[in-house]
Amino acid sequence: MHEMAIAQGIIDIAVAAAQKEGAQKITKINVVAGELRGIVPLQLTFCFSVLAEQTIASHSYLNLEITPVKGKCKNCDKTFIVKDYQYVCPQCHSQDIQTVGGTELRVRDIEVE
pTM: 0.88
Residue 110 is given by DSSP the state E
Spell out the domains of the chain, with CATH numbers in brackets: 3-68+102-112 (3.30.2320.50)
pLDDT, position 54: 95
Q: How much is the pLDDT for 100?
A: 98
Which pLDDT score is estimated for 18? Answer: 98
For 52-82, write each residue's pLDDT tens digit. Answer: 999 999 999 999 999 999 999 999 999 999 9
The reported pLDDT for the residue numbered 63 is 98
List the chain residues with pLDDT less than 50: none
Asked if residues 101 and 69 have their Cβ atoms less than 8 Å apart, the reply is: yes
